[in-house]
Structure 1
Amino acid sequence: MILVTGATGTIGTEVVRMLAERGERVRAMTRNPDGVSLPAEIVRGDFDDRDSLDGAVAGADAVFLLDAPGPWIKRHDLAMLDAVQSHGVGKVVKLSAIGTGENTELRAGGWHLPGERALRAGEAVWTVLRPSGFATNTLHWAAMIRAGRPVANLTGDGAQGVVDPRDVAEVAVAALTTPDHAGRTYTLTGPESLSTPDQVEILRKVLGRPIEVVDVPLDVAKKQMIAAGQDPDFAEGAMRGQRFIAEGGNARLTADVATVLGRTARSYATWAGDHRAAFG
């Protein structure tokens, strides 16, 4: 039995689907199971409710540990890993973030580091996945593009190895179902470094329509996030990440996807072509 946390999110749903297609027994954890339709046993689980974690973990042989980004990740990771230890789960694959433990300016890396350390110190066999920025992050441009408005650019010409979430999920499945990736930390990127203008140019070609780009200062973007209801600490962390990218800090490429999957990582152009309908 493989327990997938964050099972209704971008990566989680793909991991559940791929595991089910392989014939694995899958348990999908979500805070609100009502109306959830996945090819798995659906269980309620809340990282802040230890009894629910015990119920979700009981009988599981492996756990895919995934949580929404935010300062709560440390608390949630440690709670789940304590439940994993109590129930003798044999394997944990954790979805972390690129740069974790490497740069103290990045809030996301700080959020994930305590969980990574606890995982390595525990008794379960472990694998850590540190993906770069997801191709799906550009879906928040869809409303702008459909309305003919310019895409907001917070990172200037800073480039990063944008990764297709399907590749991240496929690597997670390999780590969960084979013994070949025990004790490994993989930094998962796409095959090329792309800036926001680069991605917009690819979308122009895929969609066959003009798309403009407008630079937005980070202080303005932060105020907009807070005004929209985001936690100020989360907004500050997000802006630090954007600044890091803008300054070239995330311009790295690895071959880890190819190492695990035996093929080149999917390009952003491939992802965009497969999701053109979302942009109108």
Structure 2
Amino acid sequence: MILVTGATGTIGSELLRQLAARGEKARALTRDPARARVPAGVEVVRGDHHEPASVEAALSGVSALFAVGVLGPGDADADAALVAAARAAGVRRVVKLSAIGTGDPALGPVGTWHLGGEQAVRASELEWTILRPSSFASNTLSWAEAIHSGNPVSNMTGTGTQGVIDPRDVSEVAAEALLAPGHTGRVYTLTGPELLTTQDQAATLAEILGRPVTTADVPPDALREQFLRAGMSETYAEGVLAGTAYVRKGGNAVLTEDVRQVLDRAPRTYARWARDHREAFARD
């Protein structure tokens, strides 16, 4: 049995589809089972890291764990508690979803948010693998409303480039690490095949949609105000701003061969992801 935390999120939901397609036994952990949409055959259980007993119950009979970090400055101990509970439950293997740049001082506070989880799995004596994906292609789904309205999409990272990755590739690597031998003790930095700016991604969408998609730079002060109005804490907002500054300065201009190494194929391009998700951006 494989327990997938973050089961309704971008990576967890796709990982469940892949595990189900392989005929693996999977259990989805979610705070609201009634709203979870999972493939046939996947067990759904309620759990919340604020309620340790619920997580301990979900770990019963589990042999492998996919650990999605609870991202934020106030959740530093959540991963460590999850790993400790997994060890106590007899789990043998854990795959920890982290983020590119974790541990790099230049990334600022956001670069420390996954450190506790990474340190916990390294010290756990379990068969561990850490995944550090770059920016998700699916992040651009947040542009859909602006594109529908014919407005520019927000550019928070200037001319900084990133190895934008299709979340399906991250989930596929996670499945391999959970199921196959040879990944213990590995840290995989997962990127797409090319470095892209925000403008590059907008241009790709414009070509696919057959109409202009423009961008508008958003200064850091305006970003901070947007984040605070959206309900972010000051600490969280400062962390995210440090992350965008890191990208603007070229800190995330990283490409690796790790996806190819694990999957024995090239990672999907952003254009491939965009074509597959064209409906989300197309006008009604």
What is the CA deviation profile of residues 58-99 of structure 1, one whole-angstrom value per residue up to 9, with x for unaligned ones? 110000001342124422101101101111210000000001
1:112 counterpart letter in structure 2: H
Check conservation: 2:69, 2:98, Cα contact below 8 A: no
Alignment of 1:178-257 (within 5 A): 178-257=180-259
SS in 2 for 1:42: strand
In the other structure, the counterpart of 1:49 is 51
> CA separation in 2, counterparts of 1:134 and 1:73?
22
**1: CA distance between counterparts of 2:107 and 2:132?**
17
| AA matched with 1:95 | L
Uncovered stretches (5+) of structure 1, i.e. residues with no partner: none
* Distance in 1, Cα, partners of 2:105 & 2:258: 20
Shift of 1:247: 0.6
Q: Please say if residues 134 and 165 of structure 1, whose CA atoms lie closer than 8 Å, have aligned partners that are also in contact.
A: yes
2:159 and 2:52 map into 1 onto residues whose CA distance is 44
Task: Please tell me the residue identity of whatever aligns with 2:2.
Answer: I
Aligned length: 280
Q: Which residue of 1 aligns with 2:119?
A: 117
TM-score, normalised to structure 1, is 0.98
Q: Distance in 2 between matches of 1:97 and 1:84?
A: 21
| Number of the residue aligned with 2:178 | 176
Q: Does 1:163 align with 2:154?
A: no
8 A Cα contact 1:104 1:110, kept in partner: no
Of all paired residues, the percent bearing the same amino acid is: 53
Q: Is the deviation greater in 176-185 or in 227-236?
A: 227-236
**1:149 matched to 2:141:** no
Structure 2 unmatched runs, 5+: none
Length-normalised TM-score, structure 2: 0.96
Distance in 2 between residues matched to 1:35 and 1:105, nearest whole Å: 35
Partner of 2:5: 5
1:168-224 CA-partner distances (Å, limit 9, x unpaired):
000000000011211100000000000001111111101110112111101101111
State the match for 1:17 in structure 2: 17
Separation in 2, partners of 1:122, 1:52: 21
Alignment-derived partner of residue 134 in structure 1: 136
Does structure 1 retain, via aligned residues, the 8 Å contact 2:133–2:165?
yes
> Which residue among 263, 266, 273 is the counterpart of 2:265?
263
Residue identity matched to 1:230: M
* 4+ runs deviating over 6 angstroms: none
Give the 3 Å change call, closer, same or farther, for CA 68–148 of structure 1 in structure 2: farther
Q: Secondary structure at the match of 2:176?
A: helix
How do 1:61-76 and structure 2 match up within 5 A? 61-76=63-78
The separation in 2 between residues aligned to 1:137 and 1:276, in whole angstroms, is: 14
